[in-house]
Chains A and B, each alone.
Chain A
Amino acid sequence: MSGFADYAKLDATALRDAVVSKRTTAAAVVEAALARIAALDPRLCAFSSVLAESARERAKELDFALARGEPAGALCGVPFALKSNMCLEGVEAHCGSKILAGYRPPYTAPFVQRLLDEGAIVVGTTHMDEFAMGSSGENSAYAVAKNPWDPARTPGGSSSGSCAAVAARMVTFSLGSDTGGSVRQPAALCGIVGFKPTYGRVTRYGLVAFGSSLDQVSPFTRSCRDMELVMSVISGADEHDSTCLPHPPIDPDRSDSVRGLRLGVPKEYFAGGLDADVRARVEAAIQQLVALGATTVPIELPHTEYAIPTYYVVATAEASSNLARYDGIRYGVRKPGDGSLQGMIAATREAGFGPEVKRRILLGTYVLSSGYYDAWYVRALKVRRLIRNDFDAAFERVDLIVCPTSPTAAFELGEKSDDPVAMYLSDVMTVPTSLAGLPAVSVPCGKVSQGGKALPVGLQIIGPSLADARVLRAARVFETATKHQSELYALDLSALEGAAR
């Protein structure tokens, strides 16, 4: 069966319309997706597994249901990908780690089930930094995903594969997870939309935990209207997660305007370390929003400089405990060691975890240890509160905050992989929002030229708690007015086709 010719030109909203109005079939869409993955992924390495058979079967079912006149779901026939730290019953979720090689979850995450129930078709799982610990995808134990704009560069991380898959239009949308920026930063580096909702808007049940108080399921899409659509499906209360908020799913904002919105511009985000070209693009974007009727207000978020150290105490403390279950006893890889229980656990973890994961487990174990707990963990919680207070104070004066998503455009693979702190600093613009639990989107705002390559830049729009719909509306108005979205569709990937890994 031949694929749907316009597959790579449409966003999810348009693709679903094409399927439901019978201009094409779900089966033809899936064939187009599989063909594009086959052509591009050998070079881009976004996918860990491609679920061709189950995707074809599901497409057939959906086409039959449509033929019978049954009501079509909100994402009927739209192919998507899952980060491999998400549970889909029977499908390997290795989390980018050797320790979970071959691990097939016995259950499906509710946020995945909601997408499937709306007719979305899962076509594969994607590569990632091991246990979502990284900002470039290079900490994967399996394969390093590439940036479609320049395969010598990182697509960002940790949701590297999920981002590259959407940017290269192999799938129409995908799910990533954002703990300190793992969706917003790659979205910025690949020129697509990435959104981290308010903490608690999407259930975490079935998302393999890294930092429990920070993790949020966060989608990648190519348009803001798609983001609103996907969020309306996956958000909302869930009885399996006590930290999931009881609020109803995010309802897209009806307004098409930013007129009158007060935009806070935090001076700390435009300080040293910010690439001059990136800065220029972001400042231009803010001016475009002003031209659309918004006003700007200079604001201060004085505790921003403490965000990275605070994050690396809180997230590693939680991770050291969350990753304790990988002991080789019930699932995943097991190494016998000296034959004793402690020996087996030690050998399994020594062989199963990569260096970055070990570094963070050690950090987290240290900050929770007796005698160090108050000086590190308790103090970090206090600073986290101060960072949240900064935002609360700002949002008394402004409706949204606008700033860069990443201090630089996509960097080259290998450039920072030997320098953990430099890598950690690439999340400096996204981590504060994560610590405060606030909704934030990265939306494309133009390109910069580096090393002869045109590389995308992302504008970050941050909202107060629960103002997810307002954040997405502002992004949509900006996208509609500026059409930066079209730059992605103009990106010619034919040079990558058929090339070997």
Chain B
Amino acid sequence: MSQTAIPTSGPTPQGVGVVSKKTGVRWVPVIGLEVHCQLKTETKLFCSCRYEFGASPNTRVCPVCTAQPGALPVLNREALALAVRVAVALGANVAPRTKFDRKNYFYCDLPKGYQISQFDQPFCTGGGLTLPSGKRVRLTRIHLEEDAGKAIHDRGDTTLVDLNRAGVPLIESVTEADMQTSDEAYEYLTSLKEILQYAGASDCDMEKGSLRCDVNVSVRPEGEPWRTKVELKNLNSFKNVKDAIEHEIERQIEAYESGDKSKFPVQETRLYDATTQTTRTMRSKEDAHDYRYFPEPDLVPFHVEPAFVELQRTMLPELADARRARYQRDFGLSAYDAGVLTGSRALADFFEMVVKLSGNAKETANWITNGVLANLSDPTIAAKTVDELPFRPHDLAELVQLVTDRTIHNNVGRTVLRAMFETGKSARQIVKEQGLEQVSDEGQLEKWCREALVGKDKVIADVKAGKTKAVAALMGPVMKASKGSANPQLVQEILLRIIQTEM
């Protein structure tokens, strides 16, 4: 459905767009997005089936979502709660009264022959988000609807239908045509995904189909009224969205510049082909469905009380933007580290739990950005995400403390962390089992130091001449002899004392 409101003209932002090499005309693209996100509810929008991505076909179904005669929908309040939470996060207005409508069309993956959606009274209008570049993208509306099933066409000459997904709640958000570049569209999607994930509303995983995006694109010469828009579909990644927009802008500019009116863009839906990076016509305006929307008589119009909206506001966690600012302000972290740590809500939540236990934000940040994330990206480690970590925040906090109180050396800490990933044991347990505690026993350290000094006359001479830094050359042999467990600060003190007082 294409509902992006496209006014006939608008202000031309300065310096944006593409200057044609051929004609010197500055072409300004006009871009709007329609994004569908699956809500992460326990059960489907109108029945109590539990959806699970990848479940065996047609095992997450019931009379309601397979459209058995006589079955009726009942609204899942949890879906409404999540949808309202998203609306609040995006600063949108939640309508006090809203209703569902039927969108009628025949397709094999649409069991009822209509989709329950919202037509003229979406639950939410307005709002928007500010991109990292500072650009503001306004939202026209967000509405709630049910997903269709899945048609599987690649099984010989039959089509198979899996209705597991039928009835899963979706929110469709429609932007104003506020974007002018593919980068802005990409940034918008990234920001929207971050907000939805932080709100706990959606996984936004394009590969699993929990986020889907259609794009409306048109171009116009700078200062001129808006021209015919084209809808792009079949965009399977954020990169696809970016590439498809770039291709479509070029195609439209070329078409206009050809001067041949028969080649000018027409209002149509085009499918993007990622392998050839081109688009082709799917259906023209003339083929557009008449969806015969009318109010869903099986669901009465419902009221969203202000108290319900406020409740959802209080249930909205602190979003990524706010956390990034706080990490820099309160923890003294760099913008880069704050960015890495807020890469997902799970990671940010994990970081904050460890900080609370370790009491040392900077060290914790270091251990997560360098240690934990490095291990997670190691293919030999089973855990791939923060949710899959084999240890608890408490265990990482313990490691941070062992390092900061010098019970173990930093390098030993890395070995311990690796062992935590491999065994799931606590840091203290690993240190104890492997005898990794730093040795601070002066008698033992002095023995290793004296052994290391044998035959090192040059170093001894340098130190005696005042170049105390020269002892660094002796640290390695001592650490080696101690298998890394020697307390390096004590070793340095002992070496200097022996050289300066005894030699």
Contacts and interface: CB of A to CB of B under 8 A. Distances in A.
B113 A324 contact: yes
B457 interface: no
Contacts of B290: 369-370
Interface in A42-100: 85-87, 93, 95, 100
A239 B111 contact: no
A105 interface: yes
A206 B293 CA distance: 25
Contacts of A115: none
Contacts of B114: 321, 324
B71 interface: yes
A103 B66 CA distance: 14
A486 B408 CA distance: 100
A317 interface: yes
Contacts of B111: 325, 329-330
B297 interface: yes
A207 B298 CA distance: 12
A325 B112 contact: yes
B482 to A, nearest CB: 70
A209 interface: yes
Contact of B68 (A107, A204, A242): A107
Contacts of A369: 290, 292
B72 A204 contact: yes
A266 B112 CA distance: 41
B106 A209 contact: no
Contacts of A109: 70
A377 B294 contact: yes
Interface in B31-71: 63, 66-71
A240 B75 CA distance: 10
Contacts of A241: 72, 74, 298
Interface in B99-124: 102, 104, 106-108, 111-114
B381 to A, nearest CB: 45
A450 interface: no
A341 B107 contact: yes
A433 to B, nearest CB: 18
Interface string B144-180: 0000000000000001010000000000000000000
B300 interface: yes
Contact of B297 (A208, A243, A329): A243
A205 B71 contact: yes
A212 B112 contact: no
Nearest to B46: A242
B499 interface: no
A335 to B, nearest CB: 15
Interface string A228-248: 000000000001111100000
Contact of B292 (A105, A206, A243, A370): A370
Contacts of B69: 85, 87, 93, 95, 100, 103, 105, 208-209, 325
Interface in A284-325: 317-318, 320-321, 323-325
Nearest to B290: A370
A327 interface: yes
Nearest to A377: B294
A417 interface: no
A107 B63 contact: yes
Interface string A192-233: 000000000000111111011100000000000000000000
Contacts of B107: 341
Contacts of A318: 297
A85 B66 CA distance: 18
A330 B72 contact: no
A389 interface: no
Contacts of B75: 242
A368 B292 contact: yes
A324 B300 CA distance: 21
Nearest to B69: A208
Nearest to B105: A324
Contacts of A213: 297
Interface in A127-173: none
Interface in A361-390: 365, 368-370, 373, 377
B424 interface: no
A95 B69 CA distance: 10
Nearest to B66: A330
B73 interface: yes
B72 A324 contact: no
B74 A327 contact: no
Given A325-B113, A341-B107, A205 B70 contact: yes
B470 interface: no
A95 to B, nearest CB: 7
A86 B112 CA distance: 18
A320 B63 CA distance: 20
Given A318-B297, A342-B106, A327 B70 contact: no
B178 to A, nearest CB: 28
B299 interface: yes
A345 B72 contact: no
Nearest to B74: A242
A239 B293 CA distance: 26
| Listed residue (B71, B106, B108) with the most chain A CB atoms within 10 angstroms of its CB | B71
A272 interface: no
Contact of A325 (B67, B294, B297, B298): B67
A331 interface: yes
B113 A240 contact: no
A331 B68 contact: yes
A324 B107 CA distance: 10
A317 B107 CA distance: 20
A96 to B, nearest CB: 12
| Listed residue (B108, B111, B159, B294) with the most chain A CB atoms within 10 angstroms of its CB | B294
B190 to A, nearest CB: 37
Contacts of B67: 325, 330
28 contacts: A85-B69, A103-B69, A105-B63, A105-B68, A105-B70, A106-B63, A204-B70, A206-B70, A206-B71, A208-B70, A209-B70, A239-B74, A240-B72, A241-B298, A243-B72, A320-B292, A323-B113, A324-B106, A324-B114, A325-B67, A325-B111, A327-B108, A327-B113, A330-B66, A331-B68, A341-B107, A368-B104, A369-B290
Closest 6 CB pairs of A and B: A324-B113, A212-B297, A368-B292, A213-B297, A208-B69, A325-B67
Given A106-B68, A342-B106, 14 more contacts: A106-B63, A107-B68, A107-B71, A109-B70, A206-B71, A208-B69, A241-B74, A317-B294, A318-B297, A325-B67, A327-B106, A329-B111, A368-B104, A370-B290
